């Protein structure tokens, strides 16, 4: 039987690669974003409009059973702390945390009907590794990590809840940070593995957590090319 997944934010980047990975395996995918048609023109994939920060969750569009939910929208707001206003902290919380909360709340009943229901959220390496100018996004993603562990406990054994904490990854979200050969070389050199992560590797991890990792819950999987834990002598 085909599995049924809900991806919020599969129009670009990691979400788009996750949609491809699942659809290629014959799974059915419901995609929600502000421009859902971007990803919806393939068999087994359906798009529904939802702005996660501005619109009620379209619960009517859901199937009876959902085997996995991935919430992919996120931000990279890099600014010195003294220039960050309350409105910017709130925007980052709205998109990264509350959008995920709304999606999970809306999809929880269908997720509980799966025999291996799973949720995947996205954090950032900047929660574990203090980095200048990351105060707002690190605070919002730190909240996502707390949500991940709390819900993993509360929803066990029915639904597994995990997060992925990527480093800088080559997607439209990171375009400005990787917009020249010099920036790309510097970004690769900052990482012990000497490379820039790509969307498809993050998507493969997300697909594994959603589909296969039946004993994994409450985890934040760091995918950071060694940035947070390693120092090369
Ligand atoms: N790329 C990186 O370097 C990096 C690093 C660390 C963590 N992350 C995290 O990884 C996750 C995926 O990032 P990505 O780089 O793949 O991002 P991306 O390329 O910007 O894709 C995000 C997706 O979310 C959708 N989206 C954005 N705002 C939305 C909203 N208000 N309502 C509904 N959908 C919305 C977008 O589609 P529409 O425009 O159609 O709405 C898009 O499909 C994010 O949570 C991000 O914070 C990324």
Domain span at residue 201 reads: 4-223
* Span from the CA of 73 to the centroid of ligand 1 (angstroms): 4
End-to-end distance of the chain based on CA atoms, in angstroms?
51
Low-confidence ranges of the chain (pLDDT < 70): 40
The predicted structure's pLDDT at residue 39: 74
Whether 222 lines ligand 1, by a CB cut-off of 6 Å, is: no
Whether 26 lines ligand 1, by a CB cut-off of 6 Å, is: no
In a domain, 16, yes or no: yes
* Span from the CA of 10 to the centroid of ligand 1 (angstroms): 8
In a domain, 182, yes or no: yes
pTM over 0.95: yes
Q: CA–CA separation, 52 vs 34, rounded Å? A: 8
Domain with residue 180: its CATH number is: 3.40.50.720
The predicted structure's pLDDT at residue 122: 98
Protein residue with its CA nearest to atom 7 in ligand 1:
124
The predicted structure's pLDDT at residue 38: 74
In a domain, 230, yes or no: no
In a domain, 94, yes or no: yes
Q: Which of the listed residues 31, 69, 74, 163 should we mutate to test ligand 1's pocket, taking the one with most ligand atoms within 8 A of CB?
A: 74
Question: Do residues 77 and 137 touch, judged by C-beta distance below 8 A?
Answer: yes
Helix (H, G, I), strand (E, B) or coil at 1: coil
In a domain, 233, yes or no: no
Sign of the Cα pseudo-torsion (109, 111, 112, 113, in order): positive
User: Which tens digits make up the pLDDT trace of 171-193?
Assistant: 999 999 999 999 999 999 999 99
In a domain, 228, yes or no: no
Q: Which of the listed residues 73, 139, 191 should we mutate to test ligand 1's pocket, taking the one with most ligand atoms within 8 A of CB?
A: 73
The predicted structure's pLDDT at residue 123: 98
In a domain, 22, yes or no: yes
- The alpha carbon of 151 is separated from its chain's Cα centroid by a whole number of angstroms, namely 16
In a domain, 153, yes or no: yes
Question: Do residues 116 and 214 touch, judged by C-beta distance below 8 A?
Answer: yes
* Span from the CA of 216 to the centroid of ligand 1 (angstroms): 24
For the chain, the domain total comes to 1
The predicted structure's pLDDT at residue 155: 98
Protein residue with its CA nearest to atom 20 in ligand 1:
173
């Amino acid at each position: 039987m085909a599995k049924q997944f809900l991806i919020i934010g599969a129009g670009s980047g990691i979400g788009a690669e996750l949609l491809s990975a699942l659809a290629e395996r014959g799974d059915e995918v419901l995609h929600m974003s502000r421009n859902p048609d971007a990803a919806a023109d393939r068999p087994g994939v359906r798009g529904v409009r939802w702005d996660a920060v501005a619109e009620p969750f379209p619960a009517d569009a859901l199937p009876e059973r959902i085997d996995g939910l991935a919430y992919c929208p996120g931000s990279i707001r890099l600014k010195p702390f003294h220039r960050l206003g309350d409105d910017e902290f709130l925007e980052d919380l709205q998109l990264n945390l509350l959008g995920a909360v709304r999606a999970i709340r809306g999809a929880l009943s269908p997720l509980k009907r799966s025999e291996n229901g799973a949720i995947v959220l996205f954090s950032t390496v900047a929660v574990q590794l203090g980095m200048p100018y990351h105060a707002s996004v690190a605070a919002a993603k730190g909240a996502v990590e707390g949500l991940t562990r709390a819900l993993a406990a509360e929803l066990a054994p029915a639904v597994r809840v995990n997060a992925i904490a990527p480093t800088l990854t080559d997607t439209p979200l990171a375009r400005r940070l990787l917009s020249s050969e010099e920036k790309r070389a510097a970004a690769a050199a900052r990482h012990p593995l000497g490379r820039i992560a790509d969307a498809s590797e993050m998507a493969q991890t997300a697909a594994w957590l959603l589909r296969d990792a039946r004993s994994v819950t409450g985890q934040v999987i760091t995918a950071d090319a060694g940035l947070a834990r390693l120092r090369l002598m």
